[in-house]
Structure 1
Amino acid sequence: MRTRPSPRKIFFWALAPLLVFRLWLAAALPITGDEAYFIWWGKIPDWGFYDHPPMIGWWLAAQLALGEAAWWLRLTSVLQPFVIAGAVAFMLPRIWPEIDDERRWWATLFTLLAPAAVWNVLITTDTPLIYFSVFSGLAWLRAGNATAHDDSYGWYLLAGVFLAGAVLSKYFVAFLGFAYLVDALWRPSRRKLAGLILTYLCILPALALMAWWNAGHCWPNVMFNFINRHGGAGLSWQTPLLYLVTMGYLLTPPVVWRLARAVRTSTGSARTKSLVVLAFVPLALFALLSLVKTIGLHWVLSFLPFVFMLLALKLENPALARIGKFILGFAALHVVAFIVMAQLPLETLQRSKWYNSAVLAFEGERIAARLKPYEKDYVLASDGYADAATQGWNSRHYFFVFGEASSHARHDDVLTDFRPLEGRNILILKKSAPEPGEYAEYFHDVRVESFTLRGTNFYLVLGHGFNYPRYRASVLATVKRKYYAIPAWLPQTACYFCQRYFPEASCRR
């Protein structure tokens, strides 16, 4: 009778093929707009950045010191599933000593081969967030399993240190911090509550750093994350449904189905209850948020390893083996799909609304060559943040943002000062034809050129003699009103935008 391979063997068999695939994908994909935006953070590091805490900028600054190849800058993302799965394999028997080896490796294998773990090699703020959040959660669970002979406070301290790193990565870590509070209050004890306080104390320096930087920079993190970006938010039946579909994909349907049945029957031991809290309290908060806002696929990735750990604890090995077959097949399907798509010509996407953005990304070097002759006489810009960051990266020459743009990714407001550009010539790269007279009031004269690349048109607005006073009165005044109306209750030490352009008027509501 043939015996099926153990999950441990499958895990180690899967390591090399998955690593090769992810390295290939990291090298083959062009740098996307968000990635280029964060890479510029690394190129011009600071204590903070416009729309997120500073960790990804620091992360990339360290990598950029050693190289600029796409696969290298994405390496921490490429290696993430392997590191996280290894942490799960290492910590599970230390949190649950009674767990059998097969369950342990099923949890590890599911973490390694979950859909997003197969293909997600992109640089995002979630890259450091996932590392720090999972490590913090594992330390918290280990601290909760302490005996009289354990140094549980050492584990709480470690959970707090990692939580501080997550705080400096992205604000959604608040959901994990809230889960710790729920867990401590669900079954309170003196040691547990003291551990919670110790964990929270560890994040105070990170919060203080962020408050100090934001107070001296117009509070951009608060304005972006809690005020400016939610103009279109509102109750919708579509966004909760989309969230359910997203979770069904990320966890896979058999995992969702079996876990729903398993959790409904019993919650298990006190230690398992802590894991239930860490797995589902953040996801439940995202479900509530989905009532009014679209939940990004990458937002929830920090909490999926806890779900896979819970699955391994709740199900019997035969059921885990059946789920394992599905996840293995699903992972293989993703690999085949990406390899097939890589063989298709870019023009396959020509009818999609983002085809011109794809051309900008894939053909960035050719576009840079087109723009090279203009660099001597023009300051280079684009009309959108993603395009400016992408083409700036492809050209290895910073592109600033000309025009109002959107509420997203406005770190260029910090970097670019329009006052010294008075009288200068500016080239604005656009993916759509400018409206007649659109730029006339900002320059002494304007000429428009265009070129076609892979079936899509790109336009060069060549503005001569930039009129800063007119730009200030029109564009910058609108930007101030829409994005820098800082609430009076926020203490402010400085604001680059108003001090630079409107020293006579404060940035206050």
Structure 2
Amino acid sequence: MKIKSFRDDLHTAYTENRWLVLSALFILLLRLAFIGLMGLMPQDAYYTFYTEHPAASYYDHPPGIAWVLKIFTTVLGKKVYAVKLADTVVTLLTLAFFYRLSLRFLSRVKASNALLLFSSTLMITILSLVSTPDVPLMLCWTVSLLCLYKAVFLEKKVYWLLAGVMMGLAFDSKYTAVFLPAGLLLYLALSATHRKWLGTAWPWLSLVLMVVASAPVLWWNVQHDFASFRFQSTGRARGIAFSVTDFLGVLAHQAAILAPVLFFSLLWILYKIIRKYKAKLWTVQDHTLFLLCFFLPIFLAFLSISFIYWVKLNWMMPAYITGVIWVSRYFSHRMIRWQQAWAVVIHVALAIELRWYPVPVRSDDVWVGWGRMAGAVMALKRAYPADFIFSADDYKTSAVLNFYLEEMVYGQNIIRKPALQFDYVGTRLAALQGKNALFINSIPRIGNEVSEKRFADSLRRYFRNVYPLRPIEVKRGERLVRKFLVYRCEYYLPGRPGISER
């Protein structure tokens, strides 16, 4: 009977909202096409690098994304499509649990609307195509909320235990998961109906289980002088400076990943709710309060920080799980149609960009040219088989070359610069003394190579001789789209002026 009822709901939704359903399917098909169309991103390569150096955790992020990629690359091989498929499958699971969570707060029709709004965003497309810690975080966050709902509202005590484990797995994905226990305690403190739980052992046992499930991350940090925690906290504080421009930039990229109708409607309705309830938001209905407690803290925290620090577009993503469920209540059919129209336009524009690349991206965070560059480096390596290879653009070129080449490609720790996880993979740089190297230097802004060439000259501090080879150029037709400078560096001197090893 349940299957028949669900089938009837789908039929009714299709006949009444044919354009909306077809547009959602169109976006889904585009995403599946993007798996084969979109090239390797540096983030894909970097987190695959994690999988090749198994550890309890890693310097800049917990191991969740490494676990996901390890499963898929073990089964399908270290292929670009395997990495993209991993992201897509996990994100589809997130959508499935999002719908189940929505049904706890909304009618079937409203839950379907919430799913439509959420699933058609550029945010979901990014999660489906680019490997980041947010991919497993979003899944674990959604399942955690579903478990917490059943524990709190349905009083099914076993779900307190499951929620603790899932919150721990969320923390094993990304440190943003600290907002989960914060949201839980905030809700229980504000809810007159469910405050009673604070006087029982269950929420506290749930938090204990979260800590237990987070043990790999905690253990790694203890072993490494809390390096990862320091990097993600005090390490980021160095870039603090007041900037209204950064705040406006954050509003712009959040509007892009959600589509303007959804994002600005969310801001407007939030303003109206705050104005209505003023300092007494806890007096709203319990279900609404639950949604807001897992939306407002993370959303407002990062929105406030954006005045003094550049907030990346993915940092607020978990907030939108309950944020979209909450705001979808206020969406009329007309607003949903406008949102969906924006979503289709954005995804068609993305498809054009991925296929023909009409708008060059002046950054190394791009999907174009990495494979061809790696092929050129393989050919170059045949001419200099004894040379080791390194790059120094934070992690991107080194990670990509590690993905494609069957040898260790080094990061910028070769020249005594912090190199993220490359500092923690057990390489002994002193063993490279006296060897020659090939240095690959990406040019994010083609035609402006002065600073890159000047940087290459600084390599002479670490090698007896440095001279340029023919650069690697990647073209689409007659158009130059990527360029990499190549240098031969002779006789490595790690002791001049000295490189610390880990």
**TM-score, normalised via structure 2 length:** 0.83
Q: Distance in 1 between matches of 2:253 and 2:373?
A: 31
Code of the aligned partner of 1:322:
R
1:448 match: secondary structure:
strand
Paired position in structure 2 for 1:433: 453
Q: Deviations over 1:169-188 (max 9, x none)?
A: 11111122211111111125
Contact 1:364 1:395 in 2 (8 A): no
Q: Distance in 1 between matches of 2:253 and 2:366?
A: 24
In structure 2, relative to structure 1, the CA distance for the partners of 1:282 and 1:342 (3 Å cut) is closer
Paired position in structure 1 for 2:353: 341
Contact 1:51 1:411 in 2 (8 A): no
Query: Shift of residue 113 of structure 1?
Result: 1.2
Out of 237, 244, 249, the residue aligned to residue 242 of structure 1 is 249
Q: Distance in 1 between matches of 2:126 and 2:229?
A: 32
Contact 2:56 2:219 in 1 (8 A): no
Matched, 1:399 2:409: yes
Q: Distance in 1 between matches of 2:28 and 2:416?
A: 38
Paired position in structure 1 for 2:182: 178
In structure 2, relative to structure 1, the CA distance for the partners of 1:311 and 1:173 (3 Å cut) is same
Query: Shift of residue 375 of structure 1?
Result: 5.3
Query: Shift of residue 165 of structure 1?
Result: 0.5
Contact 1:423 1:465 in 2 (8 A): yes
Code of the aligned partner of 2:179:
F
Out of 356, 365, 370, the residue aligned to residue 379 of structure 2 is 370
Instruction: For 1:269-348, list aligned pairs within 5 A.
Output: 269-313=285-329, 315=330, 319-344=331-356
Paired position in structure 1 for 2:170: 166
Out of 121, 128, 138, the residue aligned to residue 146 of structure 2 is 138
Q: Deviations over 1:289-316 (max 9, x none)?
A: 2232111111111121211211234x2x
Contact 1:430 1:458 in 2 (8 A): yes
Q: Distance in 2 between matches of 1:229 and 1:281?
A: 20
1:50 match: secondary structure:
coil
Code of the aligned partner of 2:31:
R
Paired position in structure 2 for 1:353: 362
**TM-score, normalised via structure 1 length:** 0.82
Q: Deviations over 1:468-488 (max 9, x none)?
A: 32152xxx26xxxxxxxxxxx
Query: Shift of residue 13 of structure 1?
Result: 4.2
Paired position in structure 2 for 1:26: 35
Query: Shift of residue 283 of structure 1?
Result: 0.7
Q: Distance in 1 between matches of 2:441 and 2:197?
A: 60
Code of the aligned partner of 1:180:
L
In the alignment, structure 2 segments of 5+ residues that lack a partner are: 1-11, 443-451
Matched, 1:40 2:44: no
Paired position in structure 2 for 1:253: 264
Q: Deviations over 1:30-54 (max 9, x none)?
A: 2122221111101222111111111
Q: Distance in 2 between matches of 1:218 and 1:14?
A: 50
Contact 1:360 1:391 in 2 (8 A): no
Q: Distance in 2 between matches of 1:81 and 1:178?
A: 24
Code of the aligned partner of 2:410:
F
In structure 2, relative to structure 1, the CA distance for the partners of 1:296 and 1:408 (3 Å cut) is farther
Query: Shift of residue 245 of structure 1?
Result: 3.0
Code of the aligned partner of 1:164:
G
Paired position in structure 1 for 2:239: 232
Instruction: Name the Cα RMSD after superposition.
Output: 2.9
Out of 468, 471, 475, the residue aligned to residue 448 of structure 1 is 468
In structure 2, relative to structure 1, the CA distance for the partners of 1:208 and 1:435 (3 Å cut) is closer
1:65 match: secondary structure:
helix
Contact 2:470 2:486 in 1 (8 A): yes
Instruction: For 1:57-206, list aligned pairs within 5 A.
Output: 57-67=66-76, 68-93=78-103, 95-96=104-105, 99-120=106-127, 121-146=129-154, 150-151=155-156, 153-187=157-191, 189-194=195-200, 195-206=202-213
2:488 match: secondary structure:
strand
Code of the aligned partner of 1:73:
V
Q: Distance in 1 between matches of 2:455 and 2:121?
A: 46
Q: Deviations over 1:70-96 (max 9, x none)?
A: 222122322455333322332333x34
2:314 match: secondary structure:
helix
Contact 1:129 1:173 in 2 (8 A): yes
Contact 1:176 1:278 in 2 (8 A): yes
Query: Shift of residue 388 of structure 1?
Result: 0.7
Contact 1:74 1:123 in 2 (8 A): yes
Number of paired residues?
Answer: 460
In structure 2, relative to structure 1, the CA distance for the partners of 1:262 and 1:323 (3 Å cut) is farther
Q: Distance in 1 between matches of 2:186 and 2:15?
A: 36
Q: Distance in 1 between matches of 2:251 and 2:210?
A: 32
In structure 2, relative to structure 1, the CA distance for the partners of 1:362 and 1:239 (3 Å cut) is same
Give the stretch that moved more between structures: 46-55 or 437-446. 437-446
Q: Distance in 2 between matches of 1:50 and 1:343?
A: 35
Q: Distance in 2 between matches of 1:4 and 1:137?
A: 26
Contact 2:411 2:419 in 1 (8 A): no
Q: Deviations over 1:186-211 (max 9, x none)?
A: 12533255332122111122444323
Give the stretch that moved more between structures: 454-463 or 392-401. 454-463
Paired position in structure 1 for 2:491: 465
2:75 match: secondary structure:
coil
In structure 2, relative to structure 1, the CA distance for the partners of 1:127 and 1:359 (3 Å cut) is closer
Paired position in structure 1 for 2:447: none
1:297 match: secondary structure:
coil
Code of the aligned partner of 2:486:
L
